[in-house]
Amino acid sequence: MRILILANDFKPRSGGVAEYTDCLASELHKSGDSILVVSVPMPGAAAFDEEVDYAVSRVPRAEYGRTGCIMGRVLRFGKRFKTVMDAIMSFAPDVCLLNHTSGYFDAAYLASRVKAVPIVLLAHDKEVLGENSRIVHLALKWVMNHIDAVVANSRYTAGLCRQTAPKQQNVHVVHPGVRVPFRKTEARRDCCEQVADLARLSNRRVLLTICRLVRHKGIEHTLRAVAEVVKCVPEVIYVVAGEEGEANATEKLEALSRDLGLEDHVWFGGHVSEAEKHCLLEMAECFVMLSRDLPGGHGEGFGIVFLEAALHGVPSIGGRTGGIPEAVLHGETGLIVDPEDPHMVAQTMMDLLSDRDWRDRLGSNAMRRAVEVLTWPKQASQIRRILREVVRARRPS
């Protein structure tokens, strides 16, 4: 198949959607499909595009007028429509895959109808509701009811899709996969030593969060829980790695950690490379992400990072919200808690830290599930079958 992927959220930007799209494109390419990803320019894009094994085209966003200006909106839509039409005309895809409801969504729908190309949406989270705008919600409702298929990353997200588009009968659930990390080389060991020195991790018990620093990830509640934990386990250090997704997020979290007396028990690492991320996971005793479902905001449709922790045999503590209970199986690969209850979270952390056998058992189960069930080759093959069915259904008999 020839598969056109329209990706507003894409590498080298960090985050689950960008990681998902890169892994899926790579696996589809390995399966023999011809892939073209259309995205936008961003810092580091040229180096990234040179390294991947599939084709990437970067087209600048349209910048016409103010965001709310009607004429500006029309002109920006026209630019998006031209971008998609140019890609369809030059690449001649069998199917068009949208990696998000933002960016190319509206233009892709119209272009796909003009050129009779089937269109499939990858749904990740509450973005399918269009909660922040009545107009966006109605547009999503119309388009999602009329596209060829939706692939949701969890049963939770599939439910949101059916809520927005009750007439859409072709909603599939395929959990994300996880990319198996590279082998332990001398360079990898050196990297881990450098990270340990920088974060002061020697002889410390590491609790770890890796995410974009945004409010719904619940880092402030985790800090309050850690403040209770260190009273009983003083060698604990909480490592928070990830770039800011909201203005002054790091500054606010650092201020809270000082207020809680955690200066010697918290390290904010900012953006980390792929190698540094896996080094931190190797050193962690527990991965924590207390995502919350905020009204009118984001939630957690699944959480690929839980699977990345699982690859290293690290059990997770996740918030009881969204699709997290599908990523972390409670009592089997980790523990699910109320993300709004720091005392409950603290007790759960202390229970795990005090029982190594239990911690190792959860971590081993998590690793087995990640390696045997949720690898990208297996998950991508399911999506590929859906795409083939969509293409077959559109072709004249």
CA gap 368, 236 in Å, rounded? 27
Between 199 and 214, name the one with better pLDDT: 214
CA 318, CA 337: separation in Å to the nearest integer? 6
| E strand spans, 40-155 | 55-58, 95-98, 119-123, 149-152
| 380 and 368 within one domain | no
Please tell me the predicted confidence (pLDDT) of residue 133: 79
Structure tokens at 265: 């028990």
CB-based burial, 372-392: b 16+ in 10 Å, e otherwise: eebbbeebbeebbebbeebbe
pLDDT digits (tens, 9 = 90+) for 124-164: 998 888 877 788 888 889 999 999 999 999 999 999 999 99
Indicate if 251 and 381 belong to the same structural domain.
no
171 pLDDT more than 80? yes
Query: 198 and 259 share a domain?
Result: yes
Whether residue 368 is found in the same domain as residue 268: yes
- Round to whole Å and give the CA distance between 222 and 338: 11
CATH code (residue 80): 3.40.50.2000
Range of the domain at 236: 186-372
Residues 230 and 156 both lie in one domain: no
Same domain, 368 and 384: no
Instruction: Please provide the average confidence, as pLDDT, over all residues in the chain.
Output: 90
Spatial distance between the Cα atoms of 205 and 207, rounded to a whole number of angstroms:
7
Task: Tell whether 384 and 366 lie within a shared domain.
Answer: no
What is the pLDDT averaged over residues 160-187?
83
Do residues 308 and 200 both lie within one domain? yes
Question: Hey, what are 351's tokens?
Answer: 């229970």
Give Cβ neighbours of residue 158 (< 8 Å, ≥ 6 apart). 123, 150, 152, 171, 172, 173
With contact defined as beta carbons under 8 Å apart, do 129 and 163 qualify? yes
Helix axes 155-164, 134-146, angle to 10 degrees: 100
Confidence of residue 296 (pLDDT cuts 50, 70, 90): low
Q: Are residues 380 and 354 in the same domain?
A: no
Give the mean pLDDT of 231-237. 96
From the DSSP assignment, how many helices (H) and strands (E) are in the chain?
15, 13
Assess whether pLDDT exceeds 60 at residue 186. no
Residues 254 and 387 in one domain: no
Closest Cα to residue 318, out of 355, 280, 291? 291
Whether this model's pTM surpasses 0.85: yes
The domain tally of the chain equals 2
Mean pLDDT of 13-39: 94
- The H or E element that residue 216 is part of is none
